[in-house]
Structure 1
């Protein structure tokens, strides 16, 4: 596999074999306009779309900071078939994440870990995860925060691994961030709509 297609298949195949913390069921469905929706309750899916909804498992961090329930629209950019969003790590480091609903955990590159002064020589828990190219090991580290579109989660675990060859891409934004929100992907307007649960 090579090029963007190969990376896209790898990110879709990213399923972590280690489980840390409790898992929550997330339902994914697509409406007639092609907008992808995520919800934690079947009652939120119109009846005509329920049969085609798919169930995903996600491990999440502690509950996010309390704030009013409002929808935040985050612009995304396309890189071939991939969707990327801007983020801020630990309130200081800019990041460019591929949005990957197939990844249980968010990942960052080794270069980003160094920018955040994370000492990768320390004894961190090791995750084993399956990619299209085989099983890969990655240390699991804790970030003070990840912020996307003004929405911040604190004390969130991320895996450190160079998933994407382009240095402009920080890593993958996975379900341990995304599952804390109701998510709509508006392909027509290139927006990732997030609403706190």
Structure 2
């Protein structure tokens, strides 16, 4: 199980995620824990750095943003690792968040649904462990 402290007074919980793409290429991203996001979201530049080509993805999804409906490609990365918990074959949405964002991407349900998560606001501790199957 991995744990980290967070500031319960803030409106965001930040985590560092390591993403694995093709040929064992890894990158680290600052992400917001987002249980409202169906998919984990990474920027296009990260997908390309991982050896993936978002423009060639056959799967696209439509989603609502602050500026209206948008469509973006969905890819599957080899792994996502957060706080020592690694999940394989995670679908991710390739979409650049606004530049004013505090994060590179969103850690969504495509990763979180494979984990047991505890968010202790009183103590300011986030705990993540893989689900037992």
Post-superposition CA distance 1:32-83 (Å, at most 9, x none): xxxxxxxxxxxxxxxxxxxxxxxxxxxxxxxxxxxxxxx43134468x5221
1:100 aligns with 2:30: no
Name the CA shift for 1:114/1:123 in 2 (closer, same or farther; >3 Å): closer
Provide the alpha-carbon RMSD of the alignment. Answer: 2.3
TM-score (norm 2): 0.82
The higher radius of gyration belongs to 1
Task: Report the 3-state secondary structure (helix = DSSP H, G, I; strand = E; otherwise coil) of the residue aligned with 1:74.
Answer: strand
Unaligned runs of 5+ in 2: none
Do the aligned residues in 2 keep the contact of 1:75 with 1:85 (CA within 8 Å)?
A: no
How many angstroms does 1:149 deviate by?
0.8
Unaligned runs of 5+ in 1: 1-70
Name 2:114's counterpart in structure 1: 180
TM-score (norm 1): 0.57
**Structure with the larger RCO, 1 or 2 (CA within 8 Å, 6+ apart):** 2
Do the aligned residues in 2 keep the contact of 1:112 with 1:170 (CA within 8 Å)?
A: no
Pairing partner for 1:85 from 12, 15, 38:
15
Say which structure is richer in strand: 2
Pairing partner for 1:170 from 104, 128, 133:
104
Pairing partner for 2:3 from 66, 73, 79:
73
